Chains A and B, each alone.
Chain A
Amino acid sequence: MSIKFTEEQEMIRESVREFAQGKIAPIALQMEETKEIPRDVVRGMAELGLMTCTADEKYGGPGLDAVSAGVIAEELAKADCTGSTCVYYLVPASWGFLLNKYGTEEAKQEIFPKTVSGEWFLGIATTESDAGSDVGGTKTTIRPDGDEFVVNGEKMYISGVREAVKHGGGHVTIAHQTPERGTRGMTVFYLPLTVKGITPTYINDLGREGISCGGFSIDNVKIPKHYIIGEENKGFYILHEGYEYARALITVICASAGLKSLENGINYIQERKSFGKPLSQYQGINFKLAEHYTKLNMLRDWGYKALRTIDLEQEGKASRFETSKVVAMGKMFCSTWACDAINDVMQWQGAFGYSRECPDQAAWRAVRSFSLAEGSSEVMKMIVAREVLGKKQY
């Protein structure tokens, strides 16, 4: 075994597994019908300490390290074939990490108790209609105005918009403060979605339907100065720390969802007979199984390596660049490999695999999103190539 978990992490796994298998797995497909995660499930997640699990103890959170956060993500992905609770968990964990590290004391005191309790949702809103992985292409602006800042623009394809509008909370957001300086003039801040000037819109996503997807226009929204995260005009750089946290969690989630689906497939091909023998005895099937099993376990290991690298960076034992590279190496393939595996499991199960009753189809739709979310697979290749070749050669 390449991964050695601590006693605490083993306990975290056991506790989250019992909760997730008991409270989430039985209602997972139902969340796609109702288009929401039941509030009692959110409360349960919060009571367990899963919501904004990266917030320090003094703000009510457990202050987990990245590997521990990964253990939670893995167990949620095993239980929730729709991936909805995974997203509802990973976004506040990742952007709570950023807020915890760079946010003002006043903002942390105000926001964390509400997100840790599960009342508010803490999201991430960087994507716009014309700017996704290319964050520098953002059109939204922020400008100081006395003791406040004024924000104008729009954000699109954002998770958790309805939840933040309905129950409270907001999104970590980026905008140009000094546009002439390009990415060196961007600022990151917390934008509440319950204030005047925010107009939400909603989009029907292909998967992860228990959590909303949408956008919002921002019309002269005033925010207090203490909502600025990190230094003004240096947001582009710190933003990547949040992204990397999310990318590493996504890698573990994809591996876990793929392995869970493969487990479903293994049970099926051992029982289902065709032409007089179990499907598992056909090389056309068991060779594919061997490949998927190997790839997904490698992916799982790499996901934890990425999370460990994030932890090492916090201890000053890994560089920013090393973290970016290791994280991108896992995120690059996670969605593709998991989708390939789940797609084959659906195929093995014949017509059932194509039905809405089959959990694997929901898992496929959820995992498919992760080749785009928090940085596309193509951008991951750009990062790795840049780190391997060096900036001058790239």
Chain B
Amino acid sequence: MLLEINHLGKTYGEGADATHAVGDLSFGISAGEFVCVVGPSGCGKTTLLKCMSGLLRPSTGKVALRDETISGPPETMALVFQEYGRSLLPWLSVRGNVALPLRHKKLRKDEQARLVEEAVGAVGLDGFIERYPWELSGGMQQRVAIARALAYQPEILLMDEPFASVDAQTRGDLEDLILQVRDRYDMTILFVTHDIDESVYLSDRIVVLSPSPTEVKEILDVDLPRPRDQVATKELPEFAHLRAHVYRQIKRPQAHGNPE
């Protein structure tokens, strides 16, 4: 296992006011896998991701990267946030944003420039490298954030609902983009989303979470052929079947409180 989540739990507050955001979570990710985590809104996905990236210390259990417990953000991990507008630095150009995490890596100047240009090229923004993030559309800004993660050359890339705030057309393009760069950069990806179609389309495995306090409800393999295609893949009966299965898994508990 490259990344292992072991009985992870996170509680905010103490005593009677305590909120159990994450109950007891265990699953693993092997090197090279594309794993999607889906769950109902407010099920502690972001908390989980923050614990995995070392930004937040779990209350119980642990997260281990190559058998080493994570206590702070690891060098070999990158994170793409949902709010690209707040994660990119508006005073730096696209080049500056992508280069910023590389500055402490002690690379030669030309090596650093090569990594930055290659990453910006990989997300299709060659002509925009000297532009500022706020001069670009939302979808393009998220591409910049992806380029920043790529240039950092992580072993594992975490993505927190990265395409939740772009329009449907752009979303499809970005999904295909991430599948392409994953092969090119040879990364393991953990992708958090609340979009069921997206999770089925992208992943090798899906981890379905329960509502808060979060537990793993089901882990299922996605055996759809690769490379995936927005039209052909989504036409397959297996796609429809998987999609319906995950949908029922997520929606079922809510049916009790909301009879139709």
**Do chains A and B interact in one complex?**
no
Which chain A residues have a beta carbon within 8 Å of chain B's beta carbons?
none
Which chain B residues have a beta carbon within 8 Å of chain A's beta carbons?
none
